[in-house]
Structure 1
Amino acid sequence: EREVLTLMGKGLSNAELAQELTLSEATVKTHVARIFAKLTLRDRAQAVVLAYETGLVAPGESAQA
């Protein structure tokens, strides 16, 4: 889930996450939902902010980094 959150923070969509992590899109959606529940996040935007605030993603870091 940490890897999913990191890649979400870098702007990857569910389909891109699935491809990057060699998972099905349904599995990615499950991970995303669990992240939202565990961290009491409303949406993807809050997850991205959290990824930056916790240092999982650094400003200027792209999905290819």
Structure 2
Amino acid sequence: MGQLTYNMDLSRRRSLSVVQALVQANGIAAARLTGHGVGPLAPVAPNADEAGRARNRRTELVPQ
């Protein structure tokens, strides 16, 4: 369970970093963006090798 907790926190921190970068580099209002991390709960590729793990380290923008 510790690894899941760590990965979820890492995912959350990455999402907040992306939000911060979008705000700073592109002038997007911070109130328009919300960062959420899903960690290992929504993979797009198997984590069996580095190529799959690399594909799973991603950012998705979802319109609300």
Larger Rg computed on CA atoms: 2
Q: TM-score over 0.5 for the alignment?
A: no
TM-score normalized by the length of structure 1: 0.31
TM-score normalized by the length of structure 2: 0.31
